[in-house]
């Protein structure tokens, strides 16, 4: 295997890294997370591309707020209908950030392993980080999104089916990936999202440590259930840009940890409500 | 949370998370075990059932086949429960 190394503007030589955001179960927050982590990496100076692998259900463009600038897509690029320059969409907020939109074709076989490999190799020449937003499920799209990854962020909600599916995905990461096939491991991270500390404290919802006990992989972060996420998606701004929101800050911490920093986990405890707030249902 | 919820919740805290955790631990352990099993195991199990059925009447779920890996040796465990003699 060979790695293409290159230097950033500050002269640091790093290896291009492929990170897959995956979960098995649908609707747990993969796209929200891909947008947040990709943007966070770019804001910290790394040249980053976020790749939407959800063929037929393109949504990353909406979350990133670039839906009206999509001309070509991933499948066009694989088929040689367009080149990288024409296909990548530059983010309006960061010069380091690009988006590769998914194709809206209904042909589930539009992505091929060779095609994906060719595009990823090309992206490795220019980018420090390639963030792959996986579709739900364990079919071809999810398989291709994880196959070439160096690291995986397993997005999990504190709920039985999501945790079970995450474990399923961990099994696939350690058997059906290029790294696994060559006897290496994909570095795994647990990202617990939509966490409700108040319900966890009441014993109504799995706690952070419950999920850690079951999945036993290192915890990258805990993203609280937050109104800021819907607000951000309404506007097409990744929630990590909302720096005063709890979810925005939690994603910021997760990106720092991904880059090797140790930071205490925040937003694990319920905000104490006053008696009056509790009686009148205040938030 | 309304006034009504407030009093109802106080009376009956629903501590279902511990049930969820227990169920998950069991199913995840079971599925991890199956993951490490070779692909031919279900087929092997079916053929063993077929052979035994030639001689005695048995139910599918009365035959258990498992492969256990211990260090450098694998043990194929076959467990058949035969029907009670008439
Ligand atoms: N921390 C959070 N707080 C509140 N809502 C959230 C949070 N994270 C995600 N959501 C909401 O959950 C829904 C699903 O999120 P998202 O699209 O990111 O999931 P997904 O895993 O990419 O889904 P799919 O499997 O369909 O691709 C969205 O409506 C999103 O706004
Ligand atoms: Mg998605």
Chain A environment of B20 (Cβ under 8 Å): 159-160, 206, 210
What pLDDT was estimated at residue B10?
57
Average pLDDT in the A241-252 region? Answer: 98
Using the Cβ of A214 and the Cβ atoms of chain B, whether some distance falls under 8 Å is answered with yes
Test A164 with B16 for CB contact under 8 angstroms.
no
Ligand 2 center to residue A131 CA distance, Å? 13
pLDDT tens for each residue of A98-144:
999 999 998 888 999 999 999 999 999 999 999 999 999 999 999 99
Pairing relation of β-strands A219-224 and A187-195?
parallel
Among A160, A203, A207, the residue with its CB nearest the CB of B23 is A160
Our CA angle for A133, A138, A144, nearest 5°, is: 50
What pLDDT was estimated at residue B70?
73
Average pLDDT in the B46-57 region? Answer: 88
pLDDT at A95 over 80: yes
**All residues with CB under 5 Å from ion ligand 2:** A 30-31
Residue B33 pLDDT class (50, 70, 90 cuts): confident
Q: According to DSSP H, which parts of A3-112 are helical?
A: 30-43, 60-64, 74-79, 84-87
Using the Cβ of B20 and the Cβ atoms of chain A, whether some distance falls under 8 Å is answered with yes
Backbone angles phi, psi at A272, to 5 degrees: -75, 125
H or E stretch covering A169: helix A160-173
Residue A157 pLDDT class (50, 70, 90 cuts): very high
Question: Three-class SS of residue B23?
Answer: helix
pLDDT tens for each residue of A49-79:
999 999 999 999 999 999 999 999 999 999 9
**Whole-angstrom Cα distance, residue A152 to residue A150?**
7
Test B15 with A160 for CB contact under 8 angstroms.
no
ipTM over 0.90: no
Test A204 with B1 for CB contact under 8 angstroms.
no
Using the Cβ of A280 and the Cβ atoms of chain B, whether some distance falls under 8 Å is answered with yes
**Whole-angstrom Cα distance, residue A52 to residue A105?**
13
Average pLDDT in the A87-108 region? Answer: 95
Average pLDDT in the A137-157 region? Answer: 97
Chain B environment of A165 (Cβ under 8 Å): none
Residue B67 pLDDT class (50, 70, 90 cuts): confident
A·B CB contacts under 8 A: 57
Chain B environment of A280 (Cβ under 8 Å): 3
pLDDT tens for each residue of A5-21:
444 555 555 579 999 99
Ligand 1: list residues with CB < 6 Å: A 23, 26-32, 54, 135-136, 193-194, 223, 225-226, 229-230, 233, 247
Residue B16's closest chain A neighbor by CA?
Answer: A204
């Amino acid at each position: 295997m060979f790695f293409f190394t290159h230097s950033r503007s500050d002269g640091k030589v790093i290896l291009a890294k492929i990170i897959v955001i995956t979960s098995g179960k649908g609707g747990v927050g993969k796209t929200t997370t891909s947008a947040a982590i990709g943007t966070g990496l770019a804001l910290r100076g790394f040249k980053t591309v976020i790749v939407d692998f959800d063929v037929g259900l393109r949504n990353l463009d909406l979350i990133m707020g670039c839906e009206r600038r999509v001309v070509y897509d991933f499948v066009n690029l694989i088929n040689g209908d367009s080149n990288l320059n024409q296909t990548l969409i530059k983010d309006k907020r960061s010069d380091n950030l690009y988006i590769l939109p998914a194709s809206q074709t209904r042909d589930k076989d539009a992505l091929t392993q060779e095609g994906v490999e060719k595009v990823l190799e090309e992206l490795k020449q220019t980018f420090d980080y390639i963030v792959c937003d996986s579709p739900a499920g364990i079919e071809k799209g999810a398989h291709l999104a994880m196959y070439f990854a160096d690291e995986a962020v397993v997005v999990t909600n504190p709920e039985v089916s999501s945790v079970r599916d995450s474990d399923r995905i961990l099994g696939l990461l350690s058997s059906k990936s290029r790294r696994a096939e060559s006897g290496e491991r994909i570095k795994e991270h647990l990202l617990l999202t939509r966490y409700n500390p108040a319900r966890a404290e009441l014993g109504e919802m799995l706690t952070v440590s419950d999920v850690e006990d079951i999945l036993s992989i290192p915890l990258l972060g805990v993203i609280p259930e937050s109104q800021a996420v819907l607000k951000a998606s309404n506007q097409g701004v990744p929630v990590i840009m909302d720096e005063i929101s709890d979810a925005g800050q939690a994603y910021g911490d997760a990106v720092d940890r991904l880059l090797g920093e140790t930071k205490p986990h925040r937003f694990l405890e319920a905000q104490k409500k006053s008696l009056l707030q509790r009686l009148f249902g205040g938030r | 949370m309304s006034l009504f919820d407030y009093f109802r919740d106080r009376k009956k805290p629903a501590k279902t998370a511990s049930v969820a955790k227990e169920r998950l631990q069991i199913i995840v352990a079971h599925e991890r075990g199956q993951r490490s099993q070779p692909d031919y195991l279900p087929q092997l199990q079916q053929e063993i059932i077929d052979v035994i059925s030639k001689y005695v009447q048995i139910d599918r779920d009365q035959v258990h086949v498992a492969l256990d890996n211990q260090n450098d040796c694998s043990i194929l465990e076959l467990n058949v429960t035969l029907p009670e003699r008439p």
